[in-house]
């Protein structure tokens, strides 16, 4: 059952450790008996106080809402300033010092307990389950009805390649700004290129494009040992000096000049060969052709075998 104003609590005094009792009404008076206002509900001033007020008797600051007009306030209510009538939604507050209720006028229908919530589209109120705890909701916005937004769009939602763009995502300013910039660029150059990009089908990343719309700038990388890009042709001075770098690349004419200087006959491209040198035996070598397909042999008259035992015996000499 509900707690009654006459129900008792048991407390212990900390001064003498004895046990004592205190009623709910007295405890409330002790706690709430200050200058605060304690809202207690609604009362009918046409009827006596008994059964309407809780706690009974009232304590200082108890406030009630007048639930209906009272042309003549029941005599059981002791009113300050000898007030004899009240209107619906007026308030009365108990003044313990004077032992009476002070009437605070509020005007008919100007305040009081909330009795109903009415929603106006797109706000909906569902109080079917519990009228004291209504559920308030907002309809989702559509192309024909106002209401709450389901969610904000993302960059992926609005990309041109998205063939399934959602119909319930609202575009934000930053996404619209990107489109406006593109429209502005087309206005400045009607019929111009919408955007510039590269498929990089050769997988060389030789081009740098930034930005891809508007005032587009395209750069070609400078070639290096690890990067595809542009090069320059070497001049005679760079070739003579052997200058390195992507600005000193040789072309076919440079390569031909080197190729023409290499002999085209013979396996090793020897230009010429002759016998000679200090401390040598003249005529010891038999050279056939001094260029091209050269053959070299040692003349028999000057040849000395390494294995003397293989020489013929002198006794057989002619």
Residue 25 lies in a domain: yes
176 within some domain: yes
Domain annotation covers residue 237:
no
Output the six-digit token pair for 38: 């304690």
What pLDDT was estimated at residue 111?
Answer: 47
> Can you tell me the distance from the alpha carbon of 137 to that of 126, in angstroms, rounded to the nearest whole number?
8
Q: Choose the final residue of a domain: 162, 188, 214.
A: 188
Q: How far apart are CA 63 and CA 227, in angstroms?
A: 86
Full domain range(s) for residue 171:
151-188
Mean pLDDT in order along the chain per 10 residues (318 residues): 67 71 68 68 93 89 91 93 91 89 72 65 76 78 78 83 82 82 71 73 82 78 82 83 82 80 60 76 78 75 62 57
Q: 21 near 9, Cβ under 8 Å?
A: yes
Residue 244 lies in a domain: no
What is the reported pLDDT for 124? 80
Look at residue 44 in the predicted model and tell me its pLDDT. Answer: 94
Decide if 160 is inside a domain.
yes
Last residue of a domain, one of 188, 212, 236: 188
Domain contains 278: yes
Task: Record the pTM.
Answer: 0.28
Q: Given 188, 217, 242, which residue is the final one in a domain? A: 188
- Sort 86 into a burial class: Cβ within 10 Å, 0-12 / 13-18 / 19+: buried
Count CB atoms within 10 A of the CB of residue 78: 14
Residue 221 belongs to some domain of the structure: no
Residue 249 lies in a domain: no
Report the domain count for the chain.
3
């Amino acid at each position: 059952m509900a707690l009654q104003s006459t129900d008792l609590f048991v407390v212990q005094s900390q001064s003498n450790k004895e046990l004592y009792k205190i009623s709910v009404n007295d405890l409330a008076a002790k706690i709430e008996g200050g200058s605060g206002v304690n809202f207690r509900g609604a009362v009918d001033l046409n009827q006596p106080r008994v059964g309407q007020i809780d706690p009974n008797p009232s304590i200082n600051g108890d406030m009630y809402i007048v639930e209906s007009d009272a042309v003549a306030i029941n005599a059981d209510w002791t009113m300050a300033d000898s007030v004899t009538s009240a209107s619906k939604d007026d308030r009365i507050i108990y003044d313990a010092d004077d032992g009476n209720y002070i009437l605070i006028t509020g005007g008919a229908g100007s305040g009081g307990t909330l009795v109903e919530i009415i929603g106006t589209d797109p706000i909906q109120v569902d109080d079917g389950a519990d009228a004291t705890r209504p559920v308030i909701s907002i309809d989702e916005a559509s192309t024909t009805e106002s209401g709450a937004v389901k969610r904000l769009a993302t960059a992926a939602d609005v990309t041109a390649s998205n063939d399934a763009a959602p119909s319930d995502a609202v575009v934000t300013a930053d996404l619209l700004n990107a489109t406006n910039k593109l429209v502005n660029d087309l206005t400045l150059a009607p019929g111009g290129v919408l955007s510039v990009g590269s498929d990089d089908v050769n997988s060389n990343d030789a081009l740098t494009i930034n930005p891809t719309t508007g005032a587009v700038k395209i750069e070609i990388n400078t070639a290096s040992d690890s990067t595809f890009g542009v090069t320059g042709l070497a001049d005679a001075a760079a070739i003579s000096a052997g200058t390195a770098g992507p600005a000193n690349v040789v072309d076919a004419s440079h390569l031909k000049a080197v190729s023409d200087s290499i002999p085209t006959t013979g396996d090793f491209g020897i230009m010429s060969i002759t016998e000679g040198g200090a401390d040598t035996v003249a005529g010891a070598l038999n050279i056939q052709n001094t260029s091209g397909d050269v053959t070299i042999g040692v003349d028999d008259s000057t040849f000395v075998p390494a294995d003397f035992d293989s020489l013929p015996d002198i006794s057989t000499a002619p």
